[in-house]
A and B are shown apart, each in its own frame.
Chain A
Amino acid sequence: MLYREAGDFKTSYSADNQTFPIKFDRLGYYTALIIAFLVIPFIINDYWANAIFLPFLIYAIAALGLNILVGYCGQVSLGTGGFMAVGAYACYKLMTSMPEVNIFFHVIISGGITAAVCVVFGLPSLRIKGFYLAVATLAAQFFLVWLFNRVAWFYNYSASGQINAPERTVFGIEVTGPNTEAWATYLFCLVFLVASALIARNLTRGMAGRKWMAIRDMDIAAEIIGVNPLKAKISAFAVSGFFVGISGALFFSVYLGAVEVGEVFGINKSFLVLFMIIIGGLGSIFGSFAGAAFLVLLPVVLKVVGVDWLGWPTDIVAHLQLVIVGALIVLFLILEPHGLAQLWRVTKQKLRLWPFPH
């Protein structure tokens, strides 16, 4: 009933190929965009921005990036934390060495730098697969964190080894530093997320995405039908690195403002983003959003329910949270290996017929 195709006529190829072919979906998408751009900025406050929206937006970009690599191209990566650190430190060096350039371009260039680093660490993927590649990217994770801790040039020789985001503006409005308004940081990240999602969506349904998926499904067969594994794998690492780098740059400059590499971009971060795409759905743009939203919101909701409503001790709630996240991952792997995205797909199928199942 809700997801009706009947009466929704397509008269051109582009109309037939659009991202949301069903009218109801399309309307939902536009409504979401309008709410995100025109409603939320007016009602957002510091708490909502810093506890929920900024982490969600930034993790969603990272999840998009990782999903391209793991979900679409099938190359398992445990180096996300390290690559985010590359984005963050690149952004820091750019911000401090070229203060006259707009932060917007710094973030994009940081993505580019991360893409280059990611390609270098992606080279082993041409020879090794599966678990062995995971171990190779794990090495990247540890190496990069060690590097940023060890080489003082990266943190401008500050005594503490921390990097601090100086104040930067876009159109005269502060987006980094302590005096930012919640709506400004929110919109800044939102613009990056929407652009990233559009790029990712269009890449994955085009030639590049088909090549990645061919490599993922069976690399030998893909090679036989003319997919160049070198180009496909390296381009997946580059695109993935670009998004992950952007998320790392935003994570440092807009969200946290001060970063210590070992603590913020450690192995936990790699796993967190990986869990996001597993719970959200591998090989799905919507899944990246759903997974990020789920893992960002879950701790906050558990805390609100456990501590603020039920008045439980904070440590019990923190432990419960670990138990619940762990249980959910196991349950998802068993019951719905394709994640939240698949649940959403099934719901849509059901809604198409609802309320007449036959």
Chain B
Amino acid sequence: MKKIFVTAVASLMAAAPAMADLVFPSLSYRTGPYAAGGIPFADGYADYFTLLNERDGGIGGVMTRLLECETGYNTEKGVECYESTKGEGALVYQPLSTGITYQLIPKTTADDIPMHTMGYGRTSAANGDVFSHTFNYPGTYWNGASGGINYLLEINGGDIKGKKVALVYHNSAYGKEPIRTLEELQKKHGFELSLLPVDHPGQEQKSQWLQIRREKPDYVMMWGWGVMNQVAIQEAANIRFPMENFIGIWWSGAEHDVLPAGEKSNGYKALTFHNVGRDFPVFADIQKYVVDAGKAAGAGDQIGNVLYNRGMYAAMLAAEAAKTAQGIHGTADITPSMMRDGMEALSITEEKMAALGMPNFGPSFDVSCENHGGPGLVGVTQWDAASQTWSLISDFKETDMEVISALIEADSGSYAAENNIESQCK
């Protein structure tokens, strides 16, 4: 045992030097029941930073360094990864897990390291006044819930009174996140909501779909992740539930979720906060500088997939925030604390996106001290099984901020009271 300790100490010492680059930890999961979603995201995240290094020589002249740490979507390993990487000057954490996010919110705040939970995590972290180090722009789960309902309103001519909506959700902090918003919206719009929890990892869903077959809801919404998604879509196909009435959140709408059900998954819909497909100039660069150079994180076959795009988008937002931070503080070698300032001052415009080779890829938005949640614009994509592509069928639209803001206010307020947090925006 002593030997093991000595080796571990030695490795820590060996890893300590080599600063002077911008460290972006990637708490990825390439193993376990959630790997199907974790791999393309991690690849996209890694490839974008590789692209910046290869094409631009890093960010502002400083090379980036990606520190990958396998979490397996497990909170304990997530904590271990956080502790082992934070000493290396990690600039921003993106754990891609709502459970790990909850764990890290107080820790990152105490350690003065920002965390970006793009479209996941604790929704009320959008209130930057309370959650100083947590960012979830450009959209949150509650935007997603409202966006989904808005879409139903749109296709029903603005009236869904009396319609039955079932929510199939991962029985965890992640899946429970939209319930509160949906309950509020239920009061407002008069639809009937029924809740169907699916336990981790989600391979067993016979009883939930039996219930759906019995109750015949008009629409099914899904908050699923990992293996749960493909099982749900397969089960929906088995009971012949009309796919066009089945809408998943953005974590339930990638290629690997729908492909196993084959033809039967045709017409399945998913929400999104960024664009789909690979018709963006940036992918040509990735192909040229990263994949063809043999430096891709994965096999290079994931490019253009929904989650690859999302990982790349997350990396792009992180890189832009780092640039902003470099501008604010006038130094290329930024610290996590400066990175936080950069994220809070981040401004994404259409020109910027176009210059990066991602025109119309995501919304334009400005982050502020009060608003860490972005504009929360939600679009809808649909799967075409014949051509095996996702396409945007409803453009990015506003969500019901009236309902959501009140909920964010209430939830973040109670968090602030529990933890004696003072207002940070003055």
| Interface residues, chain A, with chain B CB atoms under 8 Å away | 46-47, 50-52, 55, 149, 159-162, 164, 166-167, 177-179, 255-260, 262-264, 266, 293, 297, 299-301, 303-305, 307-309, 313-315, 317-319, 322
Contact = CB atoms under 8 A, between A and B. Distances in A.
Interface in B230-273: none
A306 B102 CA distance: 29
B80 A300 contact: yes
Interface in B1-48: 1, 4, 7-8, 11-12, 14-15, 28, 30-31, 35, 39
Contacts of B106: 164, 177-178, 257-258
B173 A167 contact: no
A262 B171 contact: yes
B80 A264 contact: no
B84 A47 contact: yes
Interface stretch (B159-167, B175-183, B217-225): B175-183
A317 B70 contact: yes
Given A297-B4, A304-B8, A263 B75 contact: yes
Interface in B396-413: 411
B66 to A, nearest CB: 11
17 contacts: A46-B87, A149-B171, A159-B180, A160-B176, A178-B109, A258-B75, A259-B75, A260-B99, A262-B199, A263-B75, A263-B172, A264-B76, A297-B8, A304-B7, A314-B69, A315-B70, A318-B30
Interface in B87-106: 87, 98-99, 102-103, 106
Given A300-B8, A301-B8, A315-B70, 19 more contacts: A47-B12, A50-B79, A51-B84, A149-B197, A160-B98, A160-B177, A162-B173, A179-B110, A262-B172, A262-B200, A263-B172, A301-B7, A304-B7, A307-B68, A307-B69, A308-B15, A309-B14, A314-B70, A318-B31
B300 to A, nearest CB: 14
A314 B200 contact: no
Given A160-B177, A308-B15, A256 B75 contact: yes
A17 B98 CA distance: 53
A162 B84 contact: no
A51 B80 contact: yes
The secondary structure that dominates the A interface is: helix
Contacts of A258: 75, 99, 102-103, 106
B345 to A, nearest CB: 25
B422 interface: no
B29 to A, nearest CB: 8
A241 B11 CA distance: 38
User: What bracket does the count of chain B residues touching chain A fall in?
Assistant: 35 or more
B107 interface: yes
B25 to A, nearest CB: 12
Nearest to B124: A159
A177 B106 CA distance: 8
Nearest to A162: B173
A167 B83 contact: no
Contacts of B226: none
A297 B177 CA distance: 34
B310 interface: no
A304 B109 CA distance: 27
By Cβ-Cβ distance, the 9 closest A-B pairs, closest first, are A178-B106, A315-B30, A314-B70, A160-B173, A178-B110, A318-B31, A50-B83, A47-B83, A258-B102
Nearest to A264: B75
B72 interface: yes
A304 B70 CA distance: 12
A256 B418 CA distance: 18
A330 B309 CA distance: 42
Contact of B28 (A256, A264, A314, A319): A314
B7 A263 contact: no
A58 B86 CA distance: 23
B80 A164 contact: no
B419 interface: yes
A263 B103 contact: no
Contacts of A305: 7, 11
A47 B99 contact: no
B74 interface: yes
B96 to A, nearest CB: 14
B82 to A, nearest CB: 8
Nearest to A149: B171
Contacts of A161: 172-173, 176
A160 B70 CA distance: 25
Contacts of A314: 28, 30, 68-70
Contacts of B74: 263
Contacts of B173: 160-162, 260
* Best-surrounded residue of B8, B75, B199 (most CB of chain A within 10 A): B8
Contacts of B110: 178-179
B340 interface: no
A47 B13 CA distance: 13
B122 interface: yes
A28 to B, nearest CB: 13
Contacts of B77: 299
A59 B48 CA distance: 40
A166 to B, nearest CB: 6
A300 B102 CA distance: 23
A51 B83 contact: yes
Contacts of B199: 262
Contacts of B31: 315, 318-319, 322
Contacts of B79: 50-51, 255-256
A177 B105 CA distance: 11
Nearest to A166: B418
Query: Max chain A CB contacts within 10 Å: which of B84, B87, B411, B418?
Result: B84
Contacts of A318: 30-31, 70, 72
Interface string B115-149: 00000001000000000000000000000000000
